[in-house]
Amino acid sequence: MERIRNLDPTKMKDWEVAQACEADMKTITQIAEELGIEPKEIFPYGHYTGKIDYMKVLERLKNVPNGKYIEVTAITPTPLGEGKSTTTMGLVQGLGYLGEKVTGAIRQPSGGPTFNIKGSAAGGGLAQCIPLTDFSLGLTGDIDAITNAHNLAMVALTSRIQHEFNYSDSFLAKKNLTRLDIDPNNIAIGWAIDFSAQALRDIIIGIGGKMDGFMMKSGFQITVSSEIMAILAVAADLADMRNRIDKMIVAYSKKKKPITAGDLEVAGAMTAIMAKAINPNLVQTLEGQPVLVHAGPFANIAIGQSSIIADKVGLKLADYHVTESGFGADIGFEKFWNLKCRYSGLIPDCSVIVATVRALKMHGGGPTVTPGKKLDPVYTSSHPELVEKGLDNLMAHIETVKKSGVPPVVCINHFYTDSDEEVAVIRKAVEATGTRVAVSKHWEFGGAGAVELAEAVRDACREEKVFKFLYDNETPIRERIERIATEIYGADGVSYSPEAEEKMQRLESNPESMEMGTCMVKTQLSLSHDPTIKGRPKGWTLPISDILEYRGAGFLVPVAGDIKLMPGTASNPAFRNIDVDVETGKVTGLF
């Protein structure tokens, strides 16, 4: 702790701060012991990371009451993000600073942003989790397991197509196979890779001879958008995961019948690959509080939540458990509220909405914020008039959280370049709505800088709440989408492309579809479907271009506008700055 107090993040890069603090890290066995995890309940992966045997912990503590449940979301961010992970770590450290027993739950970073523009998701400044290199570069292998399980389904599918195309029914029968009559023009998934690789979005596979596979169009999605990741986020246990993977749709027959992983007899092998990944990972903050890491990011194209299992474990082990959702409240909180809470049965005590002066200036008409380019000086000098113009965006997110009955706390994630006048504009507007607001300087001062936020959160957790979902399980699919579009995004209505309309009619005729949740795919950079429209857009219609069916995860996935499941790598990616000190073996340049 003494070492961290002497660090100045305004003069250091995040990875330099992390490495300085890693010299005083607690061992994983020490973290586990302090948290109340027994030796047989932790699987160490080296000295400083490990996995928790969730089944043993939950069974042992089944009669222990849950701690307070705190969710972290945000306003609509700039392309650079607005510090949800940093705030999550800062709040955990702040509650720890006040003497509370606290755990955090964050999502494992994807290699896509880590090697691209956004960087890792460990937090920043004096509010991070460590060890940074392990956390950022694979941790204990969960994302690799998801990649392999997903691609094994594609191996099973493409092999089956080749054999069905090349061989007769009698030959297939000798191999104990039934013809599935798979339509190669109606494949539900692609291949997975955990990088931003736009060149792999659309490809041709099977080029060659008869033994080289069936030639057809295919493509890649980023691993964290895989249905397997969604299943990891919502699965109750290993048996539930096995059942969900069995139902995962990988293709359709020529009669439009779903072909599942179970039909391909590959679900068992896929679950075997995922058997260790279902256990949450354990690391620590810079100040030594425990952090669970499980499931992945990208709430714009996936569920984007820390896992239900991680939250259940954290709530049993601590008096306060802080969990992170992806992007703004229109995306991350909405999915936390209407999907994750519905599946888990857990009700949050408080939701923290992260806001920054920088993002509000952008929503107030400030210059374009472009990844990889230096910020315009307007974002590092005082312009309270721009902040005031951008407040409509913050108000929309406050209203979204309040619709759920969960008490919100607005966290002004303070940058050292923010002026007192700019902060005062935000505080006055938020307090006028009857909402708690706190300035937090965790990035600059760690837990000590997050005391105001931690106290506001503790206060909010004592407030009585009447939790309610946006829609009931019986609400028709179209009405669910309409409610999300109009009541959360602020649209006037919804339109459907011909392809989406056709799928909608088919889903509406299937009673099983009514039992599935609604997991929207939409840009994170606007309340609308158009990333260029900032603030709080008015007078627009949400266009649904497609509807995906994640039967294993239990989601219908309406796709709004033109959004890809495979991001692209920018012209100045982060991997240009990452290297290894060959004398010490330490990785440098991560952020």
> Which residues does the annotation mark as catalytic?
84, 86, 107, 118, 299, 327, 415, 443
Q: Report CA-CA distances (Å) from 103 to 93, 108, 275, 292, 315.
A: 9, 16, 24, 7, 8
d(CA 234, CA 232): 6
**Nearest C-alpha neighbor of 324 from the set 292, 364, 302, 366:** 292
Burial (0-12, 13-18, 19+ Cβ within 10 Å), 36? middle
**Nearest C-alpha neighbor of 585 from the set 24, 134, 121:** 134
d(CA 98, CA 433): 28
Length, in residues, of the chain: 591
**Nearest C-alpha neighbor of 411 from the set 423, 399, 422, 419:** 423
Q: Which residues of 506-536 are buried (b: 16+ CB within 10 A; e: fewer)?
A: ebeeeeebeebbbbbbbbbbbbbbbbeebbb
d(CA 115, CA 120): 8
**Nearest C-alpha neighbor of 270 from the set 202, 192, 181:** 192
Q: Are strands 517-518 and 555-560 parallel, antiparallel or unpaired?
A: parallel
Contact 410, 430 (CB under 8 A): yes
